[in-house]
Amino acid sequence: MLKEFRAFIFKGNVVDLAVAVVIGAAFGAVVTSFTKDILTPVIAAIVGKPDFSGYKVAINGSMIQYGLFINAAISFLLIAAAVYFFVVAPLNAMLRRLHGPEAATPPATRKCPQCLSDIPVEAKRCAHCTQVVAA
């Protein structure tokens, strides 16, 4: 049973997943710092201090701090934008340059010259109007 467990742990998928989690946590800290220490101050310089934590409302003695939710939503949007524009978009551009454009797949259907319905490319006769179709 111990051998099976060791084989499971050292499978490529488990080790890759563990490495991805560790790298993801470290990268999350970098992106959070970038958002908090660079993007948020730039936005604050442009539009004023972007802190909504003071916004709250009391209903029946219960405090609803909707400003904290607004701060979290703005933080999420900034982090998502930072990840997209500084990681995803450059990586996609690099992959497009490496692999070139995708080859267009040939169409699976064509139009019948008689009734203009779609028929398979290999068809010799239209299934709708029974017209003989040249290959």
Each residue's pLDDT, cut to its tens digit, for the chain (135 residues) gives: 788 877 777 776 777 787 788 888 888 888 778 877 887 778 778 877 667 778 899 999 999 998 888 888 887 888 788 888 888 899 889 988 888 777 778 888 888 888 888 988 888 888 888 888 887
C-alpha distances out from residue 6 to 3, 14, 15, 85, 108, Å: 5, 11, 12, 40, 48
The 8 Å CB, 24+ separation contacts for 39-42 are 39/78, 39/82, 40/78
pLDDT of residue 48: 76
- Judging by DSSP bridges, how do beta strands 118-120 and 62-64 pair with one another? unpaired
User: For the whole model, what pTM was predicted?
Assistant: 0.51
**Token pair of 104 as six digits:** 């267009």
Which residues are bridge partners to 57 per DSSP? 64
pLDDT of residue 52: 76
Fill in the DSSP letter of residue 135: -
Task: With residue 131 as reference, give the H or E element that holds it.
Answer: none
Burial class of residue 3 in the structure, from the number of CB atoms within 10 Å of its CB (0-12 exposed, 13-18 middle, 19+ buried): exposed
pLDDT of residue 67: 84
pLDDT of residue 129: 86
C-alpha distances out from residue 116 to 48, 85, 109, 122, Å: 62, 45, 11, 16
